[in-house]
Amino acid sequence: MKVLILGVNGFIGHHLTNRILESTDWSVYGMDLGAERLEKAINNPRFHFIEGDIAINREWIEYHIKKCDVVMPLVAIATPKLYVEDPLAVFELDFERNLEIVKQCAKYKKRIVFPSTSEVYGACPEPEFKEDESFLVTGPIQKERWIYSASKQLLDRVIYAYGTRGFFNFTLFRPFNWVGPRLDSLYSAKEGSSRVVTQFIAELVFKKPLTLVDGGSQKRCFTYVDDGIDALVRILVNEQGRCNNEIINIGNPDNECSIRELAYMLRELFQQHPRHRDDKLFSEIVEVSSQNYYGKGYQDILSRKPSIEKARKLLNWEPRVTLRDSLMRTLNAFLEENE
Ligand code: UGA
């Protein structure tokens, strides 16, 4: 199988590429702006990389959509700080650029495996979000954070409409707070625009306070990337076409914790790390208002838990890595790579 991955150097892109090259005989054709996460893959004869931009290298993309068996457009801005700082960039990249790819998949009848997001459920009040039943709930327009959720939701709807009208087969997957090595760079965390786990790790490394937005009682289910990738590979294999035109949550409901618990657990793991055991000083854990941290366009999601019944049934999959192990592996990888 030939897999086209746009955004191959991203968090999901590079982990998926490594796994494909290690455990299958497939080829990966990949494009991204850079290649710093692709060290392992870059010399593999089944990996074909081009440095490029999806907004510019359109011919290369069209040619490879024709040539490949499955298309994974993984290019997106996915950090909440940027949703409120630059909502138009989110719309242009996450929606407009990706819509062009979706339309080409329809033109050439190519299978598309597209990253939807846990964010499309928004502030859904249900205890567990179900792909085919839950309401998708977003806030007022002035709360610009929702532009990501809304952009992704509309793409989900467009892809669904193409798929159910026979233009292509699709699978929409919804990652729930995947974490792991190289989630975001410590550089973006230094600027304060990274997802929470990288943000907290950077603050521990730089001895700065860990900030709990609005007290930190909001909850997430953190999913270790290896578990997520395992599910994604099963989606690509698509045994008996079981994933055709399906939407699938990929998360670990057993790993639910509040952001406050997350901060304390990460700090404890950091304090136990051989390289830091004897440090004189450790970061404090403090509270900050969301208004101060993100600005007025922010609104939070207080609870976000996936139902994974569909993933269990369609993929015969189960997440395995506990919360503590997920955080330990992520922390250790960051410390090894950056210190
Ligand atoms: C994330 C992002 O939108 C996407 O990466 C993705 O689509 C999706 O959710 C996902 O990974 O499932 P969110 O979970 O809100 O959204 O992103 P984080 O930035 O990781 O924040 C998690 C929580 O920690 C939020 O409640 C945030 O307010 C809080 N936080 C963040 C803090 O308390 N302190 C910080 O320093 C940073």
Mutate to test the pocket of ligand 1, among 213, 261, 285 (most ligand atoms within 8 A of CB): 213
Residue nearest (by alpha carbon) to ligand 1 atom 35? 196
Q: Given ligand 1 and candidates 118, 195, 290, 326, which is best to mutate, with the most ligand atoms within 8 Å of its CB?
A: 195
Looking at residue 189, what is its pLDDT?
Answer: 87
Model pLDDT for residues 157-189, shown as the tens digit of each residue: 999 999 999 999 999 999 999 999 999 988 888
User: What is the spatial distance between Cα 62 and Cα 195, in angstroms, rounded to a whole number?
Assistant: 32
Report the CATH number at residue 145.
3.40.50.720
- Residue 170 in domain: yes
Q: Is 210 part of a structural domain of the chain?
A: no
Q: Within a domain: residue 242?
A: yes
Contacts of 276 by beta carbon, 8 Å cutoff, 6+ apart: 270, 335
Q: For the segment 30-77, what is each residue's pLDDT rounded down to a tens digit? A: 999 999 999 999 999 999 999 999 999 999 999 999 999 999 999 999
- Establish if 273 belongs to a structural domain: no
Is 175 inside any structural domain? yes
Task: Report how far ligand 1's centroid is from the alpha carbon of 194 (Å).
Answer: 8
Q: Are the beta carbons of 198 and 184 closer than 8 angstroms?
A: yes
- What is the span of the domain harbouring residue 162? 76-179+223-251+305-320
Does 232 reside within a domain? Answer: yes
Q: What pLDDT was estimated at residue 188?
A: 84
| pLDDT reported for residue 31 | 98
Q: 97 C-alpha vs ligand 1 centroid, how far in Å? A: 24
Counting as low any pLDDT under 70, the low residues of the chain are: none
Residue 34 in domain = no
Measured in Å, residue 245 CA sits from the centre of ligand 1 at: 28
CA-118 nearest atom, ligand 1: 12
**φ, ψ dihedrals at 156, nearest 5°:** -55, -45
| pLDDT attached to residue 154 | 98
Residue 318: CB atoms within 10 Å: 13
Residues with CB under 6 A from ligand 1: 78, 80, 117-119, 148, 175-177, 195-196, 199, 211-213, 216, 218, 220, 259, 300-301
Question: Which pLDDT belongs to residue 187?
Answer: 83
Report the separation in Å between the CA atom of 199 and the middle of ligand 1, taken as the mean of its atom positions.
10
Sheet holding 246-250, edge to edge: 47-51, 27-32, 2-6, 70-73, 111-115, 170-175, 246-250
Structurally, how many domains does the chain consist of?
A: 1
In a domain, 193, yes or no: no
3-state SS, 273-332, equals CCCCCCCCCCCCEEEECHHHHHCCCCCCCCCCCECCHHHHHHHCCCCCCCHHHHHHHHHH
Whole-model pTM? 0.98
